[in-house]
Chain A
Amino acid sequence: MQISTIINNKEVFLEIKKGEFLVDTLRSYGLLSVRTGCDTTSCGLCTVWLDGKPTLSCSVLSARVQGKKVTTIEGVQKEAEEFAQFIASEGSDQCGYCSPGFIMTVLAMKRELTEPSEQQIIHYLTGNLCRCTGYMSQLRAVKRYLEVVQV
């Protein structure tokens, strides 16, 4: 079947298979930042925005994004790179595999919460697993980034 959707501010028509998930559709469309980690909706690696809300693309049927707005890190590349500078300077750019999903969640949080407390940040990011960092360097990067951008 065919769906029409807006991906990174561009209207596109995509041919999808029955039962296809959004992560696979986006990857075949060439958006390779979106990856599967756990297969069970628990790691946050495949996070994209659906109408601006962070969503796990491994568990959304592609048919359901008909008429909706999908945003991947490729659609907010400049902003992502700004935040990535903080990730890099805090040393939480390790294997990098979970980072696109993590960045998408942080950028959504930035839009949703004003001056979040450390507890609020941790709570907002509980769905983004990382095996390398132990989370402390990520937390420092988020806090420093928010201090700078929210002034």
Chain B
Amino acid sequence: MKIVGKGIAKTDGIAITTGKPVYTDDLTMPNTLVVKLLRSPYAFARIINIDLSKALELEGVECILTHKDVPKVRFTLAGQSYPEPSPYDRLILDEIVRYVGDEVAIIAAVDEQTALQAMDLIKVDYEILEPVLDFETAEGHSSVVHPEEELHCNFDIGMRKESNIVSSQLVEIGDVEEELKKCAVVVEETYYTQAQAHAMMETYRALSYLDHNSRLVVVSSTQIPFHVRRMLARALKLPASKIRVIKPRIGGGFGGKQTAAVEIFNALVTLKTGKPAKIVYDRKETFSCTTSRHAMRLKVRLGADKEVHQGIRYTGVIRYRGLWRTCLNGLYGGGRENPPPIQ
């Protein structure tokens, strides 16, 4: 009993608390390109034209990528194991933007200032579409958020994309209605929960480069390095053996980093340019352009006898899924009109 009942100090506790360079952005190498994303100001729109001519003239701009430059293969960023229940519904960049903040162009430059200057010089023409802003009106809305033919599910998840329903399922044990009829008391209530951000201290970020074997190396502040590798393989049309994902110490994740967010952008830049590239989301991007816990409506019916303090329970849940967001049931829709305020 040398260990049980005694505190054991973490092996790297002193190093990480006293500021040793162990996190993703501390590992940046010289001449790393800085990647910034031009984002949509509209909740639902089609990109008609993107004029990059002025931005590309700016000295220090390495490349600017748009939906015309990305592999045309849809994937999911949800960090789930085989057989990946979340639908393959997103592209790295799409012709359609589906929320305020959706990515329109990837800008890579020698430094952050240049990338931001280039962003200001990009001109985009949008055809503005009617957004689905509320999950309670998503079903049967005149706008269909993901009408694409090539949207793919690995197995039947109860998707009805024409009705904006990502997935649905019914799990029933016994005859609920019959049992409720026998109850002396039945209570029925509907509850709402709000969306929640994970609020980790280190925002999403990743660094990528090609190693001596021309293999794509991605250093990412993620909780799911193996999933990220598989996602990148699909999204970039590369064999997984050509990708290595390194997860260094991360500044918190809290489940937020169980969905991938940023790696697809800087990895694509590294593949196109052959150069190291990094992307660091600011706090606003982390709150408004990554996955949150979704808002939910929960309808609960609870039946009980007078004598026994336990009856049966029937719960119906509608879960607002956001866009191509994470796991489980829900609806498409909810392109936001405005990003939430930063507290």
Contacts and interface: CB of A to CB of B under 8 A. Distances in A.
B312 interface: no
B14 A84 contact: yes
Given A81-B14, A129-B201, A32 B9 contact: no
A91 interface: yes
A97 B221 CA distance: 12
A87 interface: yes
Contacts of B25: 35
A89 B342 contact: no
B251 A97 contact: yes
Contacts of B252: 95, 97, 131-132
A39 interface: yes
Interface in B81-137: 113
B200 interface: yes
A17 B19 CA distance: 25
Interface string A15-57: 0010000000000000011110111100101000000000000
Contact of A73 (B19, B249, B254): B19
A93 to B, nearest CB: 4
A33 B7 contact: no
Interface in B185-202: 199-202
Contacts of A85: 14
B44 interface: no
A80 interface: yes
B324 interface: no
Interface in A100-133: 100, 103, 129-132
A89 B9 contact: yes
B10 A88 contact: yes
A96 interface: yes
Identify the interface centre among B13, B203, B284: most chain A CB within 10 Å of its CB. Answer: B13
A43 B201 contact: yes
Q: Per DSSP, are chain B's interface residues mostly helix, strand or loop, or mixed? A: loop
A78 to B, nearest CB: 10
B21 interface: yes
A131 B254 CA distance: 9
Nearest to B23: A97
Interface residues of B, number: 31
A150 interface: no
B222 to A, nearest CB: 13
Given A84-B13, A99-B19, A40 B342 contact: yes
A9 interface: no
B183 interface: no
B18 interface: yes
Nearest to B221: A97
B184 interface: no
A98 interface: yes
A23 B104 CA distance: 29
A77 interface: yes
Identify the interface centre among A74, A81, A96, A129: most chain B CB within 10 Å of its CB. Answer: A96
B26 A77 contact: no
B18 A131 contact: no
B148 interface: no
Contacts of A84: 13-14, 17-18
A77 B17 CA distance: 11
A98 B282 contact: no
B17 A100 contact: yes
B328 interface: no
Interface string B242-264: 00000001111010000000000
What are the 7 tightest A-B residue pairs by CB atom distance, in nearest-first order? A33-B19, A97-B251, A96-B16, A93-B13, A99-B17, A100-B19, A88-B13
Interface of A: 17, 32-35, 37-40, 43, 45, 72-74, 77, 80-81, 84-85, 87-89, 91, 93, 95-100, 103, 129-132
Interface of B: 7, 9-10, 12-14, 16-23, 25-26, 113, 199-203, 249-252, 254, 282-284, 342
11 contacts: A32-B19, A33-B21, A35-B251, A43-B201, A73-B18, A88-B13, A88-B14, A93-B17, A96-B22, A97-B202, A100-B18
